Amino acid sequence: MDTSQNFNVLEVDTLKTNKLDYSYSNNILDITLNNCKTLKLNNSHSDYILNTTDYNMDIDIELTSQKIGTKHRILITNKQNSLLIHCKYDNDKFKGSCKINNNSNTINNEILKNNLTKKIINITDEILKNNDIIFIPTASLGLNNGGYIDLVYIGNNNCNIPITNQVGYWLISGNLIGDIKIPKSIVGNSSIKMILTLYLLNKGNKKKIICGTTKHPTTNEIYFNKIENNNISLFLNLSYIIQLFDIETSLIVYNSETYDSSDTNNLYNIKINKNLYLNPSVDGFISLKDIDTNNTNNTKNTLSFLNDFDRTVGIGTADALDFNIQPLYNKTITDYKKLNVIQYKIEKSTIEIISGFFNIIDIQAYNNSTENTITLPSSIIGKYNIFTDVENKIGVGTIYNMY
């Protein structure tokens, strides 16, 4: 065979090629079960990608850099239990926006345009300006495989390192993936006990309720409750089981249905004040619930929280009359003392951690109608405009959102 063959030049009118993108980075930090609780990121970790290599972790990340331009990306590459991001310096806060996208495999009973179009705002500029932590409590609320969070340190308002009382900002942005069952409407039902979970930060001087969720016990439909300065909005027409979730330990440390004051392992307790505004000189706080049979009724509540607190039902029980909780729709109220507010406090080993109010709203009064149903979206459900099927707007035809 002749090995010295000649080939003519190949000519074509159009040559179609596929673009090849290639990049390489060794700035990857794996988050594992061994280090997920002790991650401290400084400016030497700038441009690092934090990759979750293990499953079902409770991740705790501390941001220690105050160098302008420091940036990190967190990749949720496996389903995780919880994610906590906090700052080393007290004058560092977060601002920006982070969206939760519902898992496209989730089937909704509600009539929605499309699962993929549900962009749920979790964190906005105004809300984050005073927040020093980011906390996502469960996988279903944004820690499914495929999400990411970007963090960039931008310093104070002039993009300088903050000094004295100035505030420095971490700019947060990202897209997370949840598995969320969104209630299309809320119907008053005293026979079903909704699960109210309060997420408590109890670390040094930082003591507050970060967020609260209400979940249906059988359908698992869930939404955020509106919380302002530890004051929590609830519906009179529902009954609640209250759970207290400790962010530091990722444990439920209190359950109103199982709290037993005789059990020394129960360090946390929630108490409510039955003497509010009537006799402030007397401590009127009693346990929200206590299954200890030796405890007297003088120191524990015997009503189902919250529907049994309606003092207008029947002749009103003696315990219900300690509180001025009643439906407002189409009624004339003359006594505004304690009207539809319940003061509460959270204790650990009998020492008060935080206090606030349960703000009680009747569904009919809120809707200004005789219907015992509230339909989302609602400005009372989710300060963050989360778990609503459309964005809340201020006025008709305006572009401004209400969060």
Give the torsion sign (CA, 122, 382, 274, 188): negative
Q: Quick check: 25 pLDDT over 80?
A: no
Distance in angstroms (rounded) separating the CA atoms of residues 118 and 99: 10
- The answer to whether the bond into 339 is cis (omega within 30° of 0) is no
Q: pLDDT tens, 289-331?
A: 999 988 887 889 988 898 888 888 765 677 888 888 888 776 7
Burial readout 369-393 (b: 16 or more C-beta within 10 A, e: otherwise): eeebebebbbebbbbbbbbbbeebe
3-state helix, strand, coil in the chain (%, to 5): 5, 40, 55
The domain locations on the chain are 28-178, 185-375
Average pLDDT, whole number, for the chain? 78
Residue 116, CA distances (Å) to 60, 149, 177 in order: 29, 19, 10
Q: How many CA atoms lie within 13 A of 24 on its CB side?
A: 0
Using DSSP bridges, classify how beta strands 71-76 and 285-287 pair: parallel, antiparallel or unpaired: unpaired
Tokens 């963050």, residue located: 384
Nearest to 85 by CA among 126, 122, 111, 140: 122
| Distance, CA of 303 to chain centre | 27
Q: pLDDT digits over 29-53, tens only?
A: 999 999 999 999 999 999 999 999 9
pTM of the model: 0.78
Closest CA to 228 of 356, 55, 134: 356
Neighbours of 358 (CB within 10 A): 23
Angle of CA points 399, 101, 197, to nearest 5°: 100
**Mean local confidence (pLDDT), 54-61:** 94
Please write the tens of the pLDDT for every residue from 267-299.
999 999 988 876 666 668 999 999 998 888 788
| Sheet with 268-273, side-by-side order of all strands | 227-228, 231-235, 351-361, 341-348, 268-273, 285-287
Around Cβ 243, how many Cβ atoms within 10 Å?
21
pLDDT in tens, 171-213: 988 888 887 776 777 788 888 999 999 999 888 878 888 888 8
